[in-house]
Amino acid sequence: MMLTSPSRYSPWLVDRGLLRTLLVGRDELLQHLADSLRDVAVGGGGRYELLVGPRGAGKSHLLALVHQALTTDPLAGRAFVVAALQEEESIASLEALLGRILNAMPTEAGLPDPQTLFQRLQQLPLSAVAEKAVALIKARLQGRSLIIFLENLDILFVALGRTGQQSLRRLLQTEVNWSIMAGSRTASAAFLKESEPFFHTLNRRTLEPLTADQCREMLRRLAEHSGKADLESFLASPQGLARVRALRTFTGGNPRAMALVFPYLTRESLDDLVESFYAFADELTPYFQEQLARLPPGQATLLEALAENWRPMTVKALAQVTFTPETSASTQLRRMQKDHLVQSIRVGRHTLYEVAEPLYRIARAMKRSDQAMPTLARFLRIWYACEDLLPLLEHLNLRETVLRALALPGDQKVHGGVAPSTAVAMFRAKRYADIREYFRRLDHADQAGNCGHCASSSPGWVTCSQKRSRRLRQRTLPTSQRLSALSQVRVERKRRGWLRRSWHRVRSCSSAGYCAAYLQMTRNSESFRRRSGR
């Protein structure tokens, strides 16, 4: 019995047609994985594929679809057999893994029932299980290939330990027609370290966050499935895209998080929206609490500190606010990065960290009275265009929040040192025309800085310094001064080359990290200019 409505946590239970409809931006990967696994299996070889991504990135969704593509292939059962292990099955040893694989093999006419064989296997002495399980699996295969689907390979590998992993790899090297299609929350050291058995064995494919357009397409399909025609047409409008971009900033493009926010998309009246916002935060809380509960105390503290700070932080800053030794904070952050709990952005010699799932910030902030209002203000600032915020000032109960929202990011940039209450003051003085002008300048400042997720090209300061170099050559300066200046330009050019490369890397970050990294890079560049006397 398959579910006919989307499930946020159990894609394997959802009707495959619906899953296929809701798959966005990964059709090509799905096709590639299904085709290549099938071809290799038909050819009698073994292929090892691994999908890596944080919770909710869509691993199980994709695995379920690859599984469906393979099991419905005309050659399934004739050239290869598919065995999918359930996510909920806890496996602690190689013997258990092999037993579960046997148990998951399809029932076929003329062959003993796999469940009965599995039960017989459970009666054997442990030392005989692995060998017997392999023999039974091979007997069922009758020369056909085997494709095994596994969830949470990183957790399985921890349970198997090095010896178990070595035995598994030995098995795969011996049984050359066994393939693996797995998912993993982390790119664990078991796959990455040269000394580990599975180094260089699995084809790792990281599931990237959805882009704004992909998020919109996913929400549109959800709306279509739910029969919300008006929402569908709203999403197609420019305002719809702006709204989706706002949501993407909060969700980091995580498909599960987008599915979580979907029910709140249609809340149009402000009161309704604010109420929904609190309800949404409430709904997120158990999800993040469960994640937090699994972490060791040292990591939980760091994650909380990052969630409370809406900008990426350096290790030093984090260590200070959490009263943790810097070396320990650094180690924990590296571990958390491998577990996809935090992400890092390198800016020059500095590495900045931020939470990998931006929704965590909301869930965390809304539970604290001192942070709820600024968080809501942030949300409003992103949710509405500046002009749209103006009429909201009429809502007396929300006026302070709206004013905070109005006074947010570009405020200080425009007025340099003026307190971020400019809009408040102007509103109180009923200088409505000035407020409009103020908004215009704010927007202009944002665009000029290319700050935000709308930037499409690298900013001006990244461009080459060739012109300056030419000008220096043409100027009539004493030779020594000119050479010294030219040498500085060369150094700067080298640095700019590095900055350009960093810029491209930063562009692939989430929008929140991207903004922060961009600003940091700007500051670095400015400080470089100051140091080099220009």
Partner 1 sequence: MISPGGAILNPGGAIPADAVIGRDREIEEYWLVLRRQSIALLAPRRVGKTSICRRMLAYPPDSVTPIMRNLEGLQSASEFVARLADDVDHLVGRLTRVKSKVSELMARFGLGLDVQGVRVQLVPTQWKILLDELLHEVNEATPEDGQVVFFWDEFTLFFGDLARRGAAEEAMVLLDRLRAARQAFPRIRMVVTGSIGFEEVMEQLRQRGYANDPINDVDKQIVPLLDEVGAVKLAEALLSLLPGTPPPALAQFIAQRSEGHPLVIQHMADRLRRLGRLDKAEVEGALQQLIADDSDPLELSHYLERLATYLPAETLALTRTLLDTVALEPQGVALADLAARLGTNREQVLTAVGRLRKDQYFVREGTDHRWRFRLDVLRRWWMQERGL
Applying CB under 8 A, among 7, 71, 93, 201 the residue interacting with partner 1 is: 201
143 backbone dihedrals φ, ψ, rounded to 5°? 90, -10
| Per CB under 8 A, 79 contacts partner 1 | yes
Residue number, 60 or 179, with CB nearest to partner 1: 179
Least distance between partner 1 and beta carbon 28 (Å)? 7
Does 119 bind partner 1 (CB under 8 A)? Our answer is no
Nearer to partner 1, 130 or 408 (CB): 130
CB of 40 to partner 1, least distance (A): 5
Contacts with 70 (C-beta within 8 Å, 6 or more apart), sequence order: 34, 37, 38, 76, 80, 82, 147
Cβ pair 43, 79 in contact under 8 A: no
Q: Is 179 in the site for partner 1 (CB under 8 A)?
A: yes
Measured between alpha carbons, how far is residue 326 from residues 308, 333, 353, 451 in Å?
A: 19, 10, 14, 30
Helix, strand, or coil (residue 255): helix
Binding to partner 1 (CB under 8 A): which residues in 448-487?
none
Give whichever of 14 and 82 is closer to partner 1, judged by the CB atom. 82
Count the residues of the shown chain that bind partner 1, applying the rule CB under 8 A.
58
One residue of 16, 138, 169, 436 binding partner 1 per CB under 8 A: 169
Three-state DSSP at 88 gives: coil
Distance from C-alpha of 16 to C-alpha of 152, rounded to nearest angstrom: 21
From the list 191-199, 215-223, 366-374, 516-524, the region that binds partner 1 by CB under 8 A is 191-199
Here the tokens at position 455 are 């930037």
Among 103, 177, 251, 465, the residue binding partner 1 under the rule CB under 8 A is 177
Between CA 369 and CA 316 the distance in angstroms is 27
Asked if residues 46 and 40 have their Cβ atoms less than 8 Å apart, the reply is yes
Does 127 sit near partner 1 (CB under 8 A)? yes
Give the x-and-dash track for 493-532 against partner 1 (CB under 8 A): -----x--xx-----x------------------------
Closest contact distance (angstroms) between CB of 46 and partner 1 is 4
**CB within 8 Å of 192: residues ≥ 6 apart:** 199
The b/e string for 370-387 (b: 16+ C-beta within 10 A; e otherwise) is: ebbbebbbbbbbbbbebe
Does 56 sit near partner 1 (CB under 8 A)? no
Tokens of 33: 């994985």
Amino acid at position 483, single letter: L
Among positions 413-432, residues that touch partner 1 (CB under 8 A) are none
- Among 62-70, 189-197, 301-309, 416-424, the segment contacting partner 1 (CB under 8 A): 189-197
Closest approach, Cβ 427 to partner 1, in A, equals 46
Q: Which two tokens stand for residue 418?
A: 């003026």
Out of 99, 197, 252, 410, the only residue in the binding site for partner 1 (CB under 8 A) is 197
Q: By CB under 8 A, is residue 338 in contact with partner 1?
A: no
**CB under 8 A, 24+ apart: contacts of 8-11:** 8/56, 8/256, 8/259, 8/260, 9/256, 10/60, 11/60, 11/61, 11/64
The residue range among 185-193, 284-292, 385-393, 455-463 that interacts with partner 1, by the rule CB under 8 A, is: 185-193
> Where on the chain is the footprint of partner 1 (CB under 8 A)?
28-29, 32, 35-36, 38-48, 52, 78-79, 123-125, 127-128, 131-132, 143, 145, 163, 165-167, 169-170, 172-174, 176-179, 187, 192-194, 197, 199-206, 498, 501-502, 508
